[in-house]
Amino acid sequence: MKRACRRAASIFTISEFTRSQIVEWSGVPREKVYNVSCGVDPTYRPEGGSYGLPFPYLLCVTNRKRHKNEFRVVEAFARSRLAAEIRLVFTGNRTADLAECIERQRVTSRVHFAGVVPEVKLPSLYRGAQALIFPSLYEGFGLPLVEAMACGTPVLTSNITAMPETAGDAALIVDPTSVEEIATAMGKIVSDTPLRQRLREKGLARAARFPWTNTVAGVHQVLARNVTQPCQFAERGA
């Protein structure tokens, strides 16, 4: 991969965080790496139906990879003292180790797995949620953040890697290694109505800054430049 980075005319990435990571890791000049960002599809919007789950819920759009920090999310949910009717909903299916964690925290009846959610139904799952809970340990961008914001759903996320860059001031930011901080933020984002409204308004404005058309334009601009001005950084004869 380092050789590929050196030989490439240009390198596309999706955040300033990952741009810095690529430059530091590969040793290529910073001006060779372009942040074209990610985007959010117009189908993610506040208008429309909800997913139809028969209970209020906090949503985790994740998978079972460890950096998604799901074990701390479960523990924080157990500590949060939220009303008993509120559920914690994960996309995907349970695994044995996560199920064991849920049972150990005594919240088995309050944690729901939505299974594989078709892309067409994902906006409605966001819309029905009290908030998106996304305290990941590492993201290159964090697409669920802007998807949730575009649906008018308040967001709780991490203060590390690309997430503060993506969320801006439109999310409740926590230390993802602190169960207590996540738990406190969960309670706050559910119970503080003025905060929820502020996050909703700021989130909608923030998500509007990430249309896919911007990404397309950024990629096109770099490709056009490479056609007319071959990159000076590509290795010769390699």
CATH code, domain with 168: 3.40.50.2000
CA distance 203 to 213: 19
**Percent of residues, the chain, with pLDDT higher than 90:** 93
Half-sphere exposure of 124 (CA within 13 A, CB side): 12
Residue 87 maps to a domain: yes
What digits encode the pLDDT tens for the residues 68-96?
999 999 999 999 999 999 999 999 999 99
Largest separation between any pair of C-alpha atoms in the chain? 66
- Is the pTM higher than 0.85? The answer reads yes
What digits encode the pLDDT tens for the residues 179-221?
999 999 999 999 999 999 999 999 999 999 999 999 999 999 9
CA distance 163 to 134: 9
Residue 207 maps to a domain: no
| DSSP conformational letter for 151 | T
Task: Provide the domain count of the chain.
Answer: 2
Verify that 69 and 130 share a domain, yes or no.
yes
Chain-centre distance of CA 93, in angstroms?
19
Mean pLDDT on 168-186? 98
CA distance 189 to 183: 10
Verify that 106 and 194 share a domain, yes or no.
yes
CA distance 134 to 30: 30
Residue 124 maps to a domain: yes
Half-sphere exposure of 235 (CA within 13 A, CB side): 10
**Cβ(37)–Cβ(57) under 8 Å?**
no
Q: Which residue has the higher pLDDT, 237 or 199?
A: 199
**Cβ(210)–Cβ(40) under 8 Å?**
yes
Residue 51 maps to a domain: no
Residue 45 maps to a domain: no
DSSP SS3 for 75: helix
Residue 76 maps to a domain: yes
Mean pLDDT score across all residues of the chain? 95
**Percent of residues, the chain, with pLDDT higher than 70:** 96
Distances (CA, A) of 200 to 154, 195, 217, 225: 5, 8, 28, 39
> In which band, very low, low, confident or very high, does the pLDDT at 236 lie, cut at 50, 70 and 90?
very low
> In which band, very low, low, confident or very high, does the pLDDT at 161 lie, cut at 50, 70 and 90?
very high
What digits encode the pLDDT tens for the residues 42-72?
999 999 988 999 999 999 999 999 999 999 9
What digits encode the pLDDT tens for the residues 120-155?
999 999 999 999 999 999 999 999 999 999 999 999
216 lies in which domain range? Answer: 2-39+212-228
Verify that 134 and 223 share a domain, yes or no.
no
Verify that 26 and 83 share a domain, yes or no.
no
**Cβ(235)–Cβ(5) under 8 Å?**
no
Residue 236 maps to a domain: no
> Taking 50 as the threshold, does the pLDDT of residue 158 lie above it?
yes
> Taking 50 as the threshold, does the pLDDT of residue 234 lie above it?
no
CA distance 54 to 165: 34
> In which band, very low, low, confident or very high, does the pLDDT at 232 lie, cut at 50, 70 and 90?
low
Verify that 125 and 216 share a domain, yes or no.
no
Dihedral pair phi/psi, residue 63, rounded to 5°: -130, -170
